[in-house]
Amino acid sequence: FAAVTHDKVLGLLLGGALGDALGAPFEGRPSVDAADLAAEERAPSRLVHTDDTALTLALAEHLAQRRDAERLDVDALALEFARAWRAEPWRGYGSGTPHVFGLINAGVPWTEASRATFQGQGSYGNGAAMRVAPVALVADSLHHAAELGQRSGEPTHSHKHGQHGAACQAAAAYLALHSDPAHPLDRTRFLQDLARAVRSRPWHEKFDRATELTRNGAGPKHTAHALGNDASALGSVPTALTAFLTHPDDTTQTIRYAIQTGGDADTIAAMAGALAGARNGASTLSRGLISRLEAADQLHHLADQLAGHPRNPTVTS
């Protein structure tokens, strides 16, 4: 296990935001041309984030204010998410989540609001997973990360696959954060650890397929075909994991691979980017790209707060 440095904390936050903002123009495209992506990377324009980062910021602020992981206050968090949506409803939210947020803002308890979508079965979308990575910064074990992830997902995603997606991405972020980039990542071990944290057969089947894809060096199109690239948790979280496990030591390549899976490109890249950023640190990211990020200052400030969190006593700068 490696020390959780300030660089790793910042890397988790910036890597996620970069994946989101760079992937956003490609969201919904069945496939993404490498030349189009390269042009986006070279463009001088500001990198505007979407709902993925907007809600990640809300969660990170929630955690930074409390300074105690046991005080993840889901009632307060539900209101904070709903207010973030109301302040910026144009950020590209999914179809079900705004309905939940509207109810919460109207005073309906989240326990009820989160069950109002999709004919009462609740959302199995990836919206709980896309925002969850910061919980890894305050978790003190793999299982704690998964549990915090699941709980942070409940206000909007009452379907078990939506919650398991959040648990899976939170646990993966924890493992990436505590992995030592000076040593090669043991991919098989990583997925075995995840399978202990997410006890669900359809997820285990995805982990088995991801193990095979990374072993065979599958490209993004193949991975999208085998694992999915849609806005469901099961159809995107394992795809993001595969992007990371294919290029665990290179955050830029992880993000490029994730975007090139197409489909829900911003979200797959946000999740993959958070994992790679947590492992490799912010110092390995392109300064040019980071300086274009709309939320760069806010994320730097949050990293300062979360790196000083009592859960991260070993932090060094």
Q: For binding to ligand R7I (CB under 6 A), which residues are involved?
A: 50-52, 92-97, 118, 121, 123-127, 130, 159, 231-232, 264, 266-267
Q: How far is the CB of 281 from ligand R7I (least distance, A)?
A: 25
Q: Which does 103 bind (CB under 5 to 8 A by kind): Mg ion, ligand R7I, none?
A: none
Cα 15 to Cα 68, 95, 171, 281: the distances in Å are: 24, 26, 17, 9
Closest CA to 243 of 271, 204, 208, 263: 271
Largest CA distance in the chain: 51
Is residue 209 within 8 Å of residue 196, measured between CB atoms? no
Among residues 40, 147, 154, 264, the one that binds Mg ion under rule CB under 5 A: 264
Q: Which is nearer to ligand R7I, 130 or 148 (CB)?
A: 130
Q: How far is the CB of 16 from Mg ion (least distance, A)?
A: 11
Stretch that binds Mg ion, among 36-44, 64-72, 168-176, 265-273 (CB under 5 A): 265-273
Q: How far is the CB of 84 from ligand R7I (least distance, A)?
A: 12
Token pair listed for 250: 């290179």
Q: Which is nearer to ligand R7I, 230 or 249 (CB)?
A: 230
Beta bridge partners of 47: 293
Closest CA to 309 of 75, 80, 9: 9
Does the footprint of Mg ion cover residue 266 (CB under 5 A)? yes
What SS3 class is residue 78? helix
Number of residues that bind Mg ion (CB under 5 A): 7
Q: Which is nearer to ligand R7I, 97 or 280 (CB)?
A: 97
Q: Kindly state the helix (H) or strand (E) to which residue 269 belongs, with its residue range.
A: helix 265-280
Point out the residue whose Cβ comes nearest to Mg ion: 50
- Of 1-40, binders to Mg ion (CB under 5 A) are none
* Residue owning tokens 């189009």: 36
Q: Which is nearer to ligand R7I, 7 or 266 (CB)?
A: 266
Does the footprint of Mg ion cover residue 92 (CB under 5 A)? yes
Q: Which is nearer to ligand R7I, 162 or 248 (CB)?
A: 162
Q: Which does 53 bind (CB under 5 to 8 A by kind): ligand R7I, Mg ion, none?
A: none
What SS3 class is residue 185? coil
Give 47's DSSP letter.
B
Q: How far is the CB of 160 from ligand R7I (least distance, A)?
A: 11
Does the footprint of Mg ion cover residue 267 (CB under 5 A)? yes
Cα 125 to Cα 23, 70, 113, 164: the distances in Å are: 18, 26, 15, 11
- Mapping DSSP onto H, E and C, the string for 148-187 reads HHHHHHCCCCCCHHHHHHHHHHHHHHHHHHHCCCCCCCCH
**Chain residues that interact with Mg ion, rule: CB under 5 A:** 50-52, 92, 264, 266-267
